[in-house]
Structure 1
Amino acid sequence: MAMPTNIGVIDTMLDLPYASRDWSSQFGDRLRDDDSRNQRFVHPAGFLFKDPPQVERGPDAIGDTLREMDRFGIDKALIGVGDAVTIEAITTHRDRFLGHVMIDPAGGMPELARLTEMYEKHGIAAASFFPCGCGVPINDKRAYPLYAKCVELGLPIFVNAGVPGPRMPFAPQHVELIDEVCWFFPDLVFVMRHGAEPWVDMAVKLLLKWPNLYYSTSAFAPRYFPKAIIDYANTRGADKVMYAGYYPSGLSLERSFAELPSVPLRDEVWPKFLRENARRVLKAD
């Protein structure tokens, strides 16, 4: 069960150092407590992390990130794309960065047009959707055009599932809502993000049920990966669970890669978990 050190990791959630971010404006009245609205945390879920990294965007944000990736054997990373620097990263370093675009289904057709443009112009590899941040449930009719567009473009979609870290109502991310989406869109490649807790057992049942449903370990330090997910990966789910860190949002790469070797994955599962599953889902070749 030793973790290989030369696998060429594909990290399904890593970002360049952030420019200044106004969380209060981004999420509006979804955040109502004073700590969140006054941005007393590194980000709205920052209170959950003991020592979140403090990484400022410098003049060479792309180079700084590549050097960090090289330190820890990360071959490729899926990053959020929205500004000129992140677009530059995925267009000038296609061998290292894959882009995803976060879409708000409440935005209607302009959001779908933005997704299409980012795919056609910049070659993004995925879409993403934060249901609690948008106030749009996973199975809401407003999200259905987004799912349909992902199927049309051949893009996987990464969707937050389970109780969110930010202090928002959790109902939009109840794991049971995924069942309807996978039923209605059997060709949609749907990846759960951010743990699916406390409904991990249900998540495993759905992973068993739906061929195109996957799980990403984002936002969890490796020592806290849900046991049910590791058990599933070691048995019938070896092809369904993929590694994601949370750098620089809440976890340092030092911490993640110090704890990863203690994750009790079987020898044959490690290459799939660290690289092959993400390579297939993201068409990273």
Structure 2
Amino acid sequence: MPRPKDIGVIDLMMGIPTSGDNKEMYEFLKPLLMDEQSRKMFSMPAQYMFKDIPQSGDEEDKVAWVVGQMDAHGVERAMTGISSGNTDRAEAIRRFPGRFLLSYECNPNLGMEEVRKIRQLKREQGIVAVTCFPAGINPQVPINDKRLYPIYAACVEEGLPFFCTTGVCGPRIPSMCQKTELIEEVVWFFPELKFVMRHGAEPWEDLAVKLMLKYPNLYYSTSAFAPKHYPKAIVDFANKRGSDKILYAGYFPMGLSLERIMQELDDVPLRDEVWPKFLRGNALKLFGLEDAR
């Protein structure tokens, strides 16, 4: 039951900062924030939920700093996101081959322009997934909204899993556009789409489990949650019928340090046979990557 230390972890949510305090990672949310504390006092919009947020400080080489943290804590590969305004993650792949997987943060408000962008990034930069934060888009886009359907279709055709935030979000913005119940319409209409839930699904984690039992291509990643706060329903599901459905994702450096994550993972009561799938195997299977181990 203790976490094995000899598994090269694949982390399905990691950022690469461009400044020492991480504030630039949340600039996109500013138009949606209404309260003064979120706008002016927090270094991240959900800071009230996190403590000891890691910062790169005066480190000049941010990519090397991130890789150093990965090496120190057994993370073999990490998925990191690019967006329309930031496609420089290709540098990380060039400098550290085999260490990063690229995902693209989509904006469904852009229509076919975004569909073409996804196809282009798959060809030119080898993205392995498309991601979405429905509540963080301006204007917001519900998970089952017609604006997302062309993107879902493109993901199916390009063989790209779709990672989507669901549940009440941390930043003080409306969350109902990402109610977990909205996912069912999508995975019903797109049975070939590999849909991965992000950021907890709370308070609908029991519904998330029910839907994963029902739909073969629906998955759950543990992003943005310290391991001691993993929902019990999710841990129980991983230990039973959901061992192939739950994938490890962190939140470094946006809100959690890898040191804290790995320390707390030691106390997560997963069964021996579940750990290799959770930390590595399920991610490799999701992306169709062959494990050399």
* 2:125 corresponds to which of 113, 119, 122: 122
8 Å CA contact 1:76, 1:98 repeated in 2: yes
Partner of 2:266: 261
Amino acid at match of 1:270: W
Query: Any unmatched runs of 5+ in structure 2?
Result: none
Residues 1:246 and 2:251 aligned together: yes
1:210 aligns with 2:215: yes
Letter of the 1:32 counterpart: M
**Residue 138 of structure 1 aligns with which residue?**
143
> Whole-Å Cα distance in 2 between the matches of residues 249 and 32 of structure 1?
21
Judge conservation of contact 2:108–2:147 (CA < 8 Å) in 1.
yes
| 1:274 alignment counterpart | 279
3-state SS of 1:247 partner: coil
Does 2:193 align with 1:188? yes
Quote the Cα distance in structure 2 between the aligned partners of 1:261 and 1:27: 34
What is the root-mean-square deviation in Å for CA atoms of aligned residues?
A: 1.6
Q: Which residue of 2 aligns with 1:81?
A: 82
Aligned position for 1:26: 28
TM-superposed CA distance for 1:67, in Å, is: 1.3
Task: Give the drift of 1:24.
Answer: 7.4
Q: Which amino acid in 2 is paired with 1:14?
A: M
Cα 1:24–1:70 shift into 2, 3 Å: closer
Residue 107 (structure 1) aligned with residue 113 (structure 2): no
Residue 139 (structure 1) shift:
0.2
1:72-98 alpha-carbon deviations (Å, 9 max, x no partner): 111110011243541211344341100
> Is this contact kept in 2: 1:160–1:193, CA < 8 A?
yes
In structure 2, C-alpha distance between the alignment counterparts of 1:47 and 1:136, rounded to whole Å: 25
| Range moving further from structure 2, 5-14 or 18-27 | 18-27
Is residue 160 from structure 1 mapped to residue 162 from structure 2 by the alignment?
Answer: no
Letter in 2 for 1:196: A
The percent identity for this pair of structures is 51
Q: Which moved more, 1:69-78 or 1:83-92?
A: 83-92
CA contact under 8 A between 1:17 and 1:56: conserved in structure 2?
A: no
Q: Which residue of 2 aligns with 1:169?
A: 174
Q: Secondary structure at the match of 2:180?
A: coil
Q: Distance in 1 between matches of 2:144 and 2:110?
A: 16
Contact 1:17-1:57 within 8 A present in 2 as well: no
Contact 1:24 1:37 in 2 (8 A): no
Change beyond 3 A, Cα 1:172–1:16? same
The SS at the match of 1:110 is helix
Q: CA deviation at 1:57?
A: 7.4
Amino acid across the alignment from 1:148: A
Matched, 1:41 2:46: no
**Structure 1 counterpart of 2:135, one-letter code:** C
Per-residue deviation, 1:241: 0.2
Residue 115 to residue 284, structure 1, CA distance change in 2 (3 Å):
same
Number of equivalent positions: 284
Preserved CA contact (<8 Å) 1:191 1:215:
yes
- The residue number in structure 1 matching 2:54 is 53
| TM-score (normalised: structure 2) | 0.92
